[in-house]
Amino acid sequence: MSLKTRVSSLWRNLVHRQRADRDLDDEVRAVQALLVEEKVRQGMTLQQARRAAHIELGRVETIEEGVRDVRTGAFLDALIQDLRYALRSLRRTPGFAVAAIATLALGIGANTTIFTLLDAVLFKSLPVPAAHELVALYENAPDAAPDVSGGTGRYFRFSYPRFEWLQQAIGEHGKLAAATRSSRFVVRLPGATEAERVRGQLVSGSYFETLGVSATRGRVLGSTDVRVGQVDTVAVISDGFHKRSFGGSDSVIGQTLAVNGLQVTIVGITPPGFVGVWTDNEADLWMPLTLQGPLRYENNSSSYNVADRSNPWIGEDRIAWLNLIARIPSRSCRARSCCSTPPTGRG
Protein backbone atom coordinates (compact mmCIF):
# COMPACT_ATOMS: atom_id res chain seq x y z
CA MET A 1 0.00 0.00 0.00
CA SER A 2 1.42 3.38 -1.05
CA LEU A 3 1.92 6.23 1.40
CA LYS A 4 -0.81 8.25 -0.31
CA THR A 5 -3.28 5.38 0.04
CA ARG A 6 -2.34 4.89 3.72
CA VAL A 7 -2.84 8.60 4.50
CA SER A 8 -6.18 8.62 2.66
CA SER A 9 -7.33 5.52 4.53
CA LEU A 10 -6.24 6.98 7.88
CA TRP A 11 -8.12 10.22 7.17
CA ARG A 12 -11.25 8.32 6.20
CA ASN A 13 -11.13 6.02 9.23
CA LEU A 14 -10.59 8.83 11.74
CA VAL A 15 -12.40 11.86 10.33
CA HIS A 16 -15.26 10.06 8.56
CA ARG A 17 -15.47 7.18 10.99
CA GLN A 18 -19.28 6.83 10.91
CA ARG A 19 -19.33 6.67 7.12
CA ALA A 20 -16.50 4.10 7.18
CA ASP A 21 -18.45 1.99 9.69
CA ARG A 22 -21.59 2.14 7.53
CA ASP A 23 -19.64 1.08 4.44
CA LEU A 24 -18.05 -1.78 6.40
CA ASP A 25 -21.46 -2.93 7.65
CA ASP A 26 -22.86 -2.85 4.10
CA GLU A 27 -19.91 -4.84 2.74
CA VAL A 28 -20.14 -7.54 5.41
CA ARG A 29 -23.89 -7.94 5.00
CA ALA A 30 -23.50 -8.08 1.21
CA VAL A 31 -20.93 -10.86 1.53
CA GLN A 32 -23.21 -12.75 3.90
CA ALA A 33 -26.19 -12.37 1.50
CA LEU A 34 -24.14 -13.70 -1.43
CA LEU A 35 -23.08 -16.70 0.63
CA VAL A 36 -26.73 -17.42 1.58
CA GLU A 37 -27.77 -17.24 -2.09
CA GLU A 38 -24.98 -19.67 -3.01
CA LYS A 39 -26.12 -22.14 -0.33
CA VAL A 40 -29.72 -21.91 -1.57
CA ARG A 41 -28.59 -22.71 -5.14
CA GLN A 42 -26.80 -25.75 -3.74
CA GLY A 43 -30.18 -27.10 -2.55
CA MET A 44 -30.48 -25.80 1.03
CA THR A 45 -33.57 -24.14 2.38
CA LEU A 46 -33.34 -20.42 3.18
CA GLN A 47 -33.17 -21.14 6.91
CA GLN A 48 -30.48 -23.79 6.44
CA ALA A 49 -28.50 -21.45 4.16
CA ARG A 50 -28.55 -18.62 6.72
CA ARG A 51 -27.46 -21.00 9.45
CA ALA A 52 -24.59 -22.38 7.33
CA ALA A 53 -23.46 -18.84 6.36
CA HIS A 54 -23.54 -17.78 9.98
CA ILE A 55 -21.39 -20.77 10.99
CA GLU A 56 -18.94 -20.17 8.15
CA LEU A 57 -18.57 -16.40 8.48
CA GLY A 58 -19.53 -15.73 12.08
CA ARG A 59 -21.68 -12.92 13.42
CA VAL A 60 -21.72 -9.62 11.51
CA GLU A 61 -20.70 -7.65 14.62
CA THR A 62 -17.73 -9.97 15.27
CA ILE A 63 -16.51 -9.62 11.68
CA GLU A 64 -16.78 -5.82 11.80
CA GLU A 65 -14.93 -5.64 15.13
CA GLY A 66 -12.09 -7.75 13.71
CA VAL A 67 -11.79 -5.48 10.67
CA ARG A 68 -11.73 -2.35 12.84
CA ASP A 69 -8.88 -3.80 14.93
CA VAL A 70 -6.57 -4.14 11.91
CA ARG A 71 -7.53 -1.25 9.67
CA THR A 72 -5.34 1.86 9.32
CA GLY A 73 -5.48 4.14 12.36
CA ALA A 74 -7.09 1.57 14.65
CA PHE A 75 -4.68 2.26 17.53
CA LEU A 76 -5.11 6.03 17.23
CA ASP A 77 -8.88 5.65 17.01
CA ALA A 78 -8.93 3.52 20.16
CA LEU A 79 -6.73 6.07 21.95
CA ILE A 80 -9.09 8.91 21.02
CA GLN A 81 -12.08 6.94 22.27
CA ASP A 82 -10.29 6.14 25.54
CA LEU A 83 -9.41 9.81 26.03
CA ARG A 84 -13.01 10.84 25.40
CA TYR A 85 -14.24 8.28 27.91
CA ALA A 86 -11.67 9.46 30.46
CA LEU A 87 -12.65 13.10 30.00
CA ARG A 88 -16.34 12.29 30.39
CA SER A 89 -15.59 10.34 33.57
CA LEU A 90 -13.48 13.15 35.01
CA ARG A 91 -16.16 15.71 34.16
CA ARG A 92 -18.75 13.69 36.08
CA THR A 93 -16.47 13.51 39.18
CA PRO A 94 -14.54 16.83 39.41
CA GLY A 95 -13.14 16.04 42.88
CA PHE A 96 -11.55 12.84 41.67
CA ALA A 97 -10.29 14.67 38.57
CA VAL A 98 -8.46 17.27 40.68
CA ALA A 99 -6.92 14.55 42.88
CA ALA A 100 -5.83 12.50 39.86
CA ILE A 101 -4.29 15.48 38.06
CA ALA A 102 -2.50 16.62 41.24
CA THR A 103 -1.13 13.10 41.80
CA LEU A 104 0.15 12.90 38.22
CA ALA A 105 1.73 16.36 38.50
CA LEU A 106 3.49 15.45 41.75
CA GLY A 107 4.71 12.14 40.31
CA ILE A 108 6.06 13.73 37.14
CA GLY A 109 7.66 16.57 39.10
CA ALA A 110 9.30 14.20 41.59
CA ASN A 111 10.67 11.98 38.82
CA THR A 112 12.01 15.00 36.93
CA THR A 113 13.70 16.33 40.09
CA ILE A 114 15.25 12.96 40.93
CA PHE A 115 16.56 12.48 37.40
CA THR A 116 17.98 16.02 37.35
CA LEU A 117 19.76 15.36 40.65
CA LEU A 118 21.11 12.00 39.50
CA ASP A 119 22.28 13.55 36.25
CA ALA A 120 24.16 16.27 38.13
CA VAL A 121 25.57 14.00 40.84
CA LEU A 122 26.28 10.72 39.05
CA PHE A 123 26.06 10.97 35.29
CA LYS A 124 27.17 14.41 34.21
CA SER A 125 30.91 14.80 33.67
CA LEU A 126 32.78 17.91 34.69
CA PRO A 127 33.40 20.43 31.87
CA VAL A 128 37.16 20.05 32.27
CA PRO A 129 39.81 18.27 30.18
CA ALA A 130 40.28 14.52 30.95
CA ALA A 131 37.77 14.52 33.83
CA HIS A 132 38.33 10.76 34.26
CA GLU A 133 41.81 11.50 35.65
CA LEU A 134 40.40 13.40 38.64
CA VAL A 135 40.02 11.67 41.99
CA ALA A 136 38.87 12.84 45.43
CA LEU A 137 41.15 12.00 48.35
CA TYR A 138 40.26 10.75 51.80
CA GLU A 139 42.15 9.16 54.69
CA ASN A 140 41.19 6.53 57.24
CA ALA A 141 40.27 7.92 60.64
CA PRO A 142 42.98 7.53 63.31
CA ASP A 143 42.52 4.73 65.83
CA ALA A 144 40.14 5.64 68.67
CA ALA A 145 39.48 9.04 67.07
CA PRO A 146 35.93 10.33 66.49
CA ASP A 147 34.76 9.98 62.91
CA VAL A 148 34.09 13.52 61.71
CA SER A 149 32.72 12.45 58.33
CA GLY A 150 29.57 10.88 59.71
CA GLY A 151 30.11 7.20 60.32
CA THR A 152 32.15 6.06 57.32
CA GLY A 153 35.43 5.56 59.16
CA ARG A 154 37.14 8.04 56.86
CA TYR A 155 38.13 11.70 56.88
CA PHE A 156 37.11 13.55 53.73
CA ARG A 157 38.64 16.86 54.81
CA PHE A 158 42.25 17.83 55.44
CA SER A 159 44.19 20.60 57.12
CA TYR A 160 46.28 22.97 55.00
CA PRO A 161 49.64 21.65 56.32
CA ARG A 162 48.47 18.12 55.52
CA PHE A 163 47.56 19.25 52.00
CA GLU A 164 51.04 20.70 51.53
CA TRP A 165 52.63 17.45 52.71
CA LEU A 166 50.54 15.38 50.30
CA GLN A 167 51.29 17.80 47.49
CA GLN A 168 55.00 17.20 48.00
CA ALA A 169 54.44 13.44 48.27
CA ILE A 170 52.65 13.26 44.92
CA GLY A 171 55.42 15.25 43.28
CA GLU A 172 55.72 14.62 39.55
CA HIS A 173 53.23 11.73 39.59
CA GLY A 174 50.25 14.10 39.43
CA LYS A 175 48.75 17.35 40.64
CA LEU A 176 46.89 18.10 43.85
CA ALA A 177 44.48 20.91 44.70
CA ALA A 178 42.55 21.95 47.80
CA ALA A 179 39.18 23.66 48.02
CA THR A 180 36.40 24.27 50.50
CA ARG A 181 32.85 23.31 49.74
CA SER A 182 30.97 26.31 48.39
CA SER A 183 29.42 28.63 50.98
CA ARG A 184 27.38 31.79 50.75
CA PHE A 185 29.27 35.08 51.02
CA VAL A 186 27.74 38.52 51.38
CA VAL A 187 28.81 40.37 48.23
CA ARG A 188 28.28 44.01 47.33
CA LEU A 189 28.85 44.92 43.67
CA PRO A 190 30.60 48.17 42.63
CA GLY A 191 28.18 51.06 43.05
CA ALA A 192 25.40 48.84 44.44
CA THR A 193 23.41 49.97 47.47
CA GLU A 194 22.33 46.48 48.52
CA ALA A 195 24.36 43.32 48.98
CA GLU A 196 23.56 39.87 47.65
CA ARG A 197 24.53 36.38 48.73
CA VAL A 198 26.86 34.58 46.31
CA ARG A 199 28.15 31.02 46.59
CA GLY A 200 31.93 30.92 46.60
CA GLN A 201 34.91 28.71 47.40
CA LEU A 202 38.33 29.23 48.89
CA VAL A 203 40.88 27.35 46.78
CA SER A 204 44.58 26.62 46.59
CA GLY A 205 46.85 28.13 43.96
CA SER A 206 46.92 24.76 42.16
CA TYR A 207 43.13 24.47 41.90
CA PHE A 208 42.58 25.70 38.35
CA GLU A 209 45.84 24.18 37.10
CA THR A 210 44.84 20.76 38.46
CA LEU A 211 41.42 20.95 36.82
CA GLY A 212 42.88 22.24 33.57
CA VAL A 213 40.62 25.29 33.59
CA SER A 214 41.84 28.57 32.13
CA ALA A 215 40.22 32.00 32.11
CA THR A 216 38.20 33.30 29.19
CA ARG A 217 39.17 36.82 30.32
CA GLY A 218 41.93 37.87 32.65
CA ARG A 219 43.61 35.03 34.53
CA VAL A 220 42.86 32.30 37.07
CA LEU A 221 44.39 32.02 40.53
CA GLY A 222 47.93 30.67 40.65
CA SER A 223 50.57 29.59 43.16
CA THR A 224 51.71 33.19 43.66
CA ASP A 225 48.22 34.16 44.89
CA VAL A 226 48.09 31.56 47.69
CA ARG A 227 51.11 31.48 49.99
CA VAL A 228 51.32 31.23 53.74
CA GLY A 229 52.08 34.65 55.22
CA GLN A 230 50.78 36.43 52.14
CA VAL A 231 47.21 37.69 51.69
CA ASP A 232 46.19 38.55 48.12
CA THR A 233 42.68 39.99 47.93
CA VAL A 234 41.87 38.71 44.44
CA ALA A 235 39.03 36.62 43.04
CA VAL A 236 37.88 34.77 39.92
CA ILE A 237 34.18 34.82 39.00
CA SER A 238 32.08 32.45 36.90
CA ASP A 239 30.78 33.27 33.44
CA GLY A 240 27.22 33.02 34.76
CA PHE A 241 27.85 35.48 37.60
CA HIS A 242 29.59 37.81 35.16
CA LYS A 243 26.55 37.88 32.87
CA ARG A 244 23.95 38.08 35.65
CA SER A 245 25.55 40.75 37.80
CA PHE A 246 27.74 42.68 35.35
CA GLY A 247 25.76 42.25 32.15
CA GLY A 248 28.77 40.65 30.47
CA SER A 249 30.71 43.92 30.60
CA ASP A 250 34.25 43.81 29.19
CA SER A 251 35.48 46.18 31.92
CA VAL A 252 34.81 43.76 34.79
CA ILE A 253 38.47 42.76 35.15
CA GLY A 254 40.07 44.99 37.77
CA GLN A 255 36.80 45.94 39.46
CA THR A 256 36.42 45.32 43.18
CA LEU A 257 33.79 43.47 45.16
CA ALA A 258 33.06 43.79 48.86
CA VAL A 259 32.99 40.16 50.05
CA ASN A 260 32.03 39.85 53.72
CA GLY A 261 33.21 43.46 54.02
CA LEU A 262 36.63 42.73 52.41
CA GLN A 263 37.53 44.52 49.17
CA VAL A 264 38.48 41.86 46.58
CA THR A 265 39.71 42.56 43.03
CA ILE A 266 38.36 40.51 40.11
CA VAL A 267 41.25 39.11 38.07
CA GLY A 268 39.53 36.58 35.79
CA ILE A 269 36.38 34.87 34.48
CA THR A 270 35.98 31.10 34.11
CA PRO A 271 34.64 29.43 30.92
CA PRO A 272 30.86 29.03 30.44
CA GLY A 273 29.43 26.04 32.31
CA PHE A 274 32.19 25.78 34.91
CA VAL A 275 30.77 26.01 38.45
CA GLY A 276 33.42 24.15 40.43
CA VAL A 277 34.25 20.52 41.10
CA TRP A 278 30.96 19.46 42.71
CA THR A 279 28.05 20.05 40.35
CA ASP A 280 25.58 19.66 43.24
CA ASN A 281 27.39 22.41 45.16
CA GLU A 282 27.98 25.11 42.56
CA ALA A 283 30.10 28.20 43.02
CA ASP A 284 30.30 31.57 41.27
CA LEU A 285 33.28 33.02 43.12
CA TRP A 286 36.77 31.63 43.86
CA MET A 287 39.25 33.25 46.26
CA PRO A 288 42.62 32.24 47.79
CA LEU A 289 42.65 29.99 50.87
CA THR A 290 44.74 32.62 52.61
CA LEU A 291 41.63 34.82 52.84
CA GLN A 292 40.01 32.44 55.34
CA GLY A 293 40.89 34.72 58.27
CA PRO A 294 40.04 38.12 56.74
CA LEU A 295 36.77 36.74 55.32
CA ARG A 296 35.89 35.14 58.67
CA TYR A 297 35.20 31.86 56.92
CA GLU A 298 34.32 29.19 59.52
CA ASN A 299 32.20 26.66 57.61
CA ASN A 300 32.52 22.93 56.93
CA SER A 301 35.35 22.22 59.33
CA SER A 302 36.24 19.71 62.00
CA SER A 303 39.04 19.20 64.51
CA TYR A 304 41.03 16.08 65.16
CA ASN A 305 41.60 17.52 68.61
CA VAL A 306 40.67 20.70 70.41
CA ALA A 307 42.15 23.63 68.46
CA ASP A 308 42.09 27.41 68.73
CA ARG A 309 39.69 28.44 65.98
CA SER A 310 40.39 32.13 66.49
CA ASN A 311 43.74 31.80 64.68
CA PRO A 312 43.95 31.57 60.83
CA TRP A 313 43.35 27.99 59.71
CA ILE A 314 46.00 28.12 57.01
CA GLY A 315 48.72 27.20 59.51
CA GLU A 316 46.68 24.98 61.84
CA ASP A 317 47.26 21.25 61.42
CA ARG A 318 44.46 20.26 63.83
CA ILE A 319 41.59 21.82 61.84
CA ALA A 320 40.40 19.83 58.83
CA TRP A 321 38.49 22.07 56.41
CA LEU A 322 39.72 21.29 52.89
CA ASN A 323 38.60 18.79 50.27
CA LEU A 324 41.43 17.51 48.10
CA ILE A 325 41.24 16.77 44.37
CA ALA A 326 44.10 15.09 42.52
CA ARG A 327 44.79 14.57 38.85
CA ILE A 328 46.50 11.22 38.38
CA PRO A 329 47.39 10.59 34.71
CA SER A 330 47.82 6.82 35.21
CA ARG A 331 44.84 4.58 36.02
CA SER A 332 46.41 3.18 39.18
CA CYS A 333 46.38 5.35 42.27
CA ARG A 334 49.86 5.53 43.74
CA ALA A 335 48.71 6.58 47.20
CA ARG A 336 46.63 4.09 49.18
CA SER A 337 44.68 6.92 50.77
CA CYS A 338 43.01 8.12 47.56
CA CYS A 339 39.59 7.28 46.23
CA SER A 340 39.33 6.24 42.60
CA THR A 341 35.91 7.84 42.04
CA PRO A 342 35.98 11.07 39.98
CA PRO A 343 34.35 13.93 41.95
CA THR A 344 31.56 14.54 39.40
CA GLY A 345 28.98 15.30 42.02
CA ARG A 346 29.91 14.48 45.60
CA GLY A 347 32.74 15.53 47.85
Total residue count of the chain as it appears in this document: 347
- Closest-CA residue to 200 (of 160, 163, 245): 245
3-state secondary structure of 166: helix
Q: How far apart are the first and last CA of the chain?
A: 60
**Model-level pTM?**
0.60
Instruction: Identify whether the C-beta of residue 309 lies closer than 8 Å to the C-beta of residue 118.
Output: no
Count of alpha carbons within 13 angstroms of residue 210, beta-carbon side: 28
Residue 164 CA neighbour count, 13 Å, CB half: 12
| Beta strand pairing call for 262-269 and 234-237 | parallel
d(CA 83, CA 263): 63
Q: How far is CA 338 from the centre of its chain?
A: 26
145-171 exposure pattern, b = at least 16 Cβ within 10 A, e = fewer:
eeebeeeeeebbbbbbebbbebbeebe
What gap in Å lies between CA 122 and CA 110, rounded to an integer?
A: 18
- How many CB atoms within 10 Å of residue 228? 12
Tell me the pLDDT of the chain (347 aa) as tens digits.
555 555 455 545 555 566 666 666 667 677 777 777 777 888 888 887 777 767 766 665 566 565 555 455 555 666 667 777 777 777 777 777 778 778 888 888 877 776 565 555 544 556 677 777 888 887 765 554 544 444 455 667 888 999 999 988 888 888 999 999 889 999 999 888 889 999 999 999 999 999 999 999 999 999 888 887 777 899 999 999 999 999 888 889 999 999 999 999 999 999 998 988 877 788 999 999 999 989 888 876 666 555 566 778 888 888 888 999 998 886 544 444 444 333 433 33
Domain residue extents for the chain: 3-92, 131-327
